[in-house]
A and B are shown apart, each in its own frame.
Chain A
């Protein structure tokens, strides 16, 4: 074994990533790269209609085309037409309509799968789709959530006789009493628009019967190989122990690959039926309609306060668009936000109601932040509106109401106990970096001079709950799985270490960061540690990567397993060194006999002893490995203060983001370089919601933003650099002191931007601006405010 690192410093260093070498040389293994002999390629005939009866479907024409091996509609597929699972029935009386992989008799969204063709090349499969005869009888499309709930609306699912999927209520305290006491009540309706995840690698799946056994291996561009294996077993009836799911290199996910997709079900079933590899890779155009969407809520929010700015209560009434069907956790997304509307603020009461609504649109599900960005947006926006209403500086209003650092642990009105936080420290640092007072002075000057370009300052002081999740809490919320994570650490006879994790990275740098954690405990250099992940054959236990859980939960398992391995090694080392285990100290990867520096044994040597097993102490089994499966004690609660300075051209509506400062507190950082990168990317996605992105439908249910030419994700030219910094308030419920960072930036940044635009224009009578705040939208908002003021 090579010399041990300084164990004090492996953790917390900005170590350059192990992952990068292969990614930077194109030595990658994306699912679509996999080309197995005998593969047939699947192409999908998708519905061009949002809502229609399938009056005719005849796939026989496709079978006559060159290269075509098979073609199926729902009828031909029969029992192999598996249903897409939903694992979060949020209420006892939730309506859970069937979601067959291939539509049966009726289509309910543009992009619904109607038929599939399998052929020896992608081109042959796609060409043969034209030979399928299909006709539809259009039905009225349900596109508007409020209209969907009105009586007499067309129904997305006739059999459930309503478009209301569920109603979820969480009353906390007596909001009506708070309201009665209040001097001021401010109510707003915010539209949290529909977004499309747009991970850069389109989805792809290959399933192959492995021949020598009954095993079917499925390679999928997924965030959740472990969960997918269980779900595919349940859906297809293929025994779980015959399924191996591998997520090779995965090019981003952002929640969009947290799914058991219909295409994954089809490819798996067809590989088994045909006895040969089946492959499908989506085009970006398919991705836009067939990969689940995110957000899409109408938020009615009402805040009650005293005239000097003490918040008394909050009422939130949501309509949450489910889309046409329920996917893996579609109904639960608003519930992940439910707890976070009260955010960092103290109040007496909080009343939450959410109605899930079916429409003829693409199903929604997790997208970066999943419920929490929506909550943070609404609360941070209404705080600014309350400040304006009572004439208080918006940061002062926040300070007056937030939980102070000496009040932790603090149980919020929504019933969560935040373990730690220091909103004052993060805010103070952010204000100093931002030059808040200087920018406010410039804003005053521009207002006074009537400058056509006005300056706005946007604030977002956010927290979120992440590190999903304590299994008992998930159970109480009717989520059917747990939130634990697993790790096995193996010391190999050659001195190398394997860290087998149940997390499944797709850009987050787990191989580097997990090596740092193990290195800091085992004293083995980071480069001698291999992290094994994302393959149920090699890493059998795990709950995968989403909800900023991988470090917060998976990190605990790595720590515990590493520590257990050291304890097993200690017993063996004591036997070799002929001393008692308690006489040994473990420093920098070696056991030393206390007081006798000549007697020591390195971990690698212990591993070799455990491998040969020639001379192990009685009762100790050969091999040196340890495992841990950890259920987190609680969520973790990252927080931070984000500040944006925006120049708004009142003549054109053009918004220019001039400066973006954020101070995040994500607890202990394993690799600050990776943390910073997560914040950058997260902030950019949140800014994108505020300024650029929105999935638009026409009233017939056609997605108008159905390609990357129409759905604007920002390019480098659309964004500035960001000024990021951190404060470190360690989590007290997570043994490493870590929180989570994957979603923080996205959760925080959207309201900072919109608050800034409204702040720039408030003197013109503007009190809100819709997202995305395109120049056209901003310009119209200004015109409407001016007209209203006349």
Chain B
């Protein structure tokens, strides 16, 4: 067992964890942050994507012990619920989700993509989200959502509020 301290969505969590435990399982099982989900066991689907110190990672390919001392942002910490993050607003507005299972990962990957490239082309969006699989939408509306989020974010912080 290893002792870790991780800040998740603004709250500091301390715990004992088995060294083999994946970050996503620690989030879900140990601290009850079940908004982040698991879609595969080969690091292909991206459903588990979170921000680790501000950059997107697949939380199934990080050990919980590796997150010791880090800051993790999950879909549950992106906004407080009353004020939506522009990416969340855009996904709703553009119908960028159906079942919603890929959505936590898709949204967090988008946040990272837009912080790297605030005005991506369609091709850049498609390539930027290559590591996140969605089986419902055919990606058409996800791509639209990301473009729209980029518009909202470049228009300033207030426009994204909902």
Binding site for B on A (CB under 8 A): 16-17, 19-21, 23-28, 30, 32-33, 35, 123, 198-202, 249-252, 254, 283-285, 506-509, 673-674, 676-677, 680-685, 707-709, 713-717, 719, 721-722, 745
Contacts and interface: CB of A to CB of B under 8 A. Distances in A.
A708 B39 CA distance: 10
Given A23-B100, A684-B139, 19 more contacts: A20-B97, A24-B88, A24-B107, A26-B75, A27-B81, A28-B34, A32-B37, A199-B101, A199-B135, A200-B135, A201-B99, A202-B39, A252-B135, A284-B40, A708-B45, A719-B139, A721-B143, A722-B138, A745-B138
Contacts of A284: 39-42, 45
A754 B37 CA distance: 35
A715 B126 CA distance: 8
Contacts of A721: 122, 140, 143
10 contacts: A19-B100, A200-B134, A202-B38, A284-B41, A284-B42, A677-B136, A681-B138, A707-B44, A715-B130, A717-B130
B130 to A, nearest CB: 4
Given A28-B100, A200-B102, A249-B100, A716 B142 contact: yes
In the A-B complex, the 10 residue pairs with the closest CB atoms: A26-B35, A251-B101, A684-B138, A23-B100, A507-B99, A507-B98, A26-B75, A680-B138, A708-B44, A284-B40
Contact of A200 (B34, B47, B74, B139): B47
A681 B138 CA distance: 4
A674 B126 CA distance: 22
A707 B122 CA distance: 29
A707 B103 contact: no
A515 B78 CA distance: 29
Contacts of A21: 92
Contacts of A35: 29, 32
A722 B144 CA distance: 12
Interface in B55-97: 74-76, 78-79, 81, 84, 88, 91-93, 95, 97
A20 to B, nearest CB: 4
B81 A681 contact: no
A744 B35 CA distance: 32
Contacts of B37: 28, 30, 32, 201, 251
A506 B136 CA distance: 10
A33 B91 CA distance: 23
Contact of B95 (A198, A677, A745): A677
B6 interface: no
Given A24-B97, A681-B98, A507 B136 contact: yes
The residue among B34, B84, B99 with the most chain A CB atoms within 10 A of its own CB is: B99
A541 to B, nearest CB: 24
A24 B79 CA distance: 10
Contacts of B75: 24-26
A716 B88 contact: no
A285 B38 CA distance: 12
Contacts of B138: 680-685, 719, 722, 745
Nearest to B104: A26
Contacts of B74: 26
A439 to B, nearest CB: 21
Contacts of A283: 41
Interface string B97-130: 1111111100100000000000000100111011
Interface in B126-154: 126-127, 129-143
B99 A250 contact: yes
B135 A254 contact: yes
**Looking at chain A's contact residues, is the secondary structure mostly helix, strand, loop, or mixed?**
loop
Nearest to A745: B138
Contact of A717 (B91, B126, B140): B126
Contacts of B127: 716-717
B45 A200 contact: yes
B50 to A, nearest CB: 10
Contacts of B76: 25-27
B127 to A, nearest CB: 5
A254 B35 CA distance: 23
A682 B141 CA distance: 13
B18 interface: yes
Contacts of A716: 125-127, 129-130, 132, 134, 139, 142-143
A43 B131 CA distance: 29
Contacts of A682: 138
Contacts of A24: 75, 84, 88, 91-92, 97, 100, 103, 107
Contacts of A20: 91-92, 97, 100
A506 B97 CA distance: 11
A742 B38 CA distance: 25
Interface string B10-37: 0000000010000000001100111111
A508 to B, nearest CB: 7
A674 B95 contact: yes
A166 B139 CA distance: 40
A27 B79 CA distance: 12
Contacts of A199: 99, 101, 135
A23 B95 CA distance: 12
A202 B103 CA distance: 15
A353 B20 CA distance: 54
A508 B39 contact: no
Contact of A16 (B36, B81, B93, B131): B93
A72 B33 CA distance: 33
A642 to B, nearest CB: 13
B59 to A, nearest CB: 13
Nearest to A706: B42
A200 B133 contact: yes
A676 B144 CA distance: 13
A749 to B, nearest CB: 10
Contacts of B40: 284, 707-708
A507 B98 CA distance: 4
Q: Among the interface residues B29, B98, B101, which one has the most CB atoms of the partner chain A within 10 A?
A: B98
A198 B42 CA distance: 14
Contact of A677 (B29, B81, B137): B137
A709 B92 contact: no
Given A673-B95, A684-B139, A719-B138, A285 B41 contact: yes
Given A25-B75, A251-B100, A16 B95 contact: yes
Best-surrounded residue of A20, A674, A683 (most CB of chain B within 10 A): A20
Contacts of B131: 715
Nearest to B76: A26
A25 B76 CA distance: 5
A616 to B, nearest CB: 42
A490 B69 CA distance: 52
B136 A252 contact: yes
A25 B135 contact: no
A573 B88 CA distance: 44
Nearest to A250: B99
A27 B138 CA distance: 24
B110 to A, nearest CB: 11
B38 to A, nearest CB: 7
A722 B122 CA distance: 13
Given A200-B133, A722-B140, A25 B35 contact: yes
Contacts of B44: 707-709
B92 A16 contact: yes
Contacts of A709: 42, 44
A30 B101 contact: yes
A28 B140 CA distance: 24
